[in-house]
Amino acid sequence: MSLFAADLRATEITIVVLLICLLLLLPPLLGLWFSIGSPWFLPYLVWFGIIVLSYYLQRLLRKNAV
């Protein structure tokens, strides 16, 4: 397996995990985002957590693929 194929596989796995996170988190979070009294920065915190999770997952998969 070439290095390019390993990078491509890690990227595909990360995208699949992100899509699963969106499917699981988006409906309940929409209720939180639109509720009265929720902080304005809540959506940004959630997206920041998803981005950080995908970054670490990508790093872990690339490290294990090499």
The residues, ordered by sequence, that sit 6+ positions from 3 with a Cβ below 8 Å of its Cβ are 66
Scanning the chain, the segments in alpha helix (DSSP H) are 3-33, 42-65
pTM of the entire structure? 0.53
Phi, psi dihedrals of residue 38, rounded to the nearest 5°: -80, 145
* pLDDT score of 47: 81
Instruction: From residue 14, give the alpha-carbon distance in Å to each of 25, 39, 60, 62, 65.
Output: 16, 29, 10, 11, 13
For residue range 35-66, list pLDDT tens digits in order. Answer: 778 788 877 887 898 888 888 887 877 776 65
Q: How many CA atoms lie within 13 A of 4 on its CB side?
A: 0
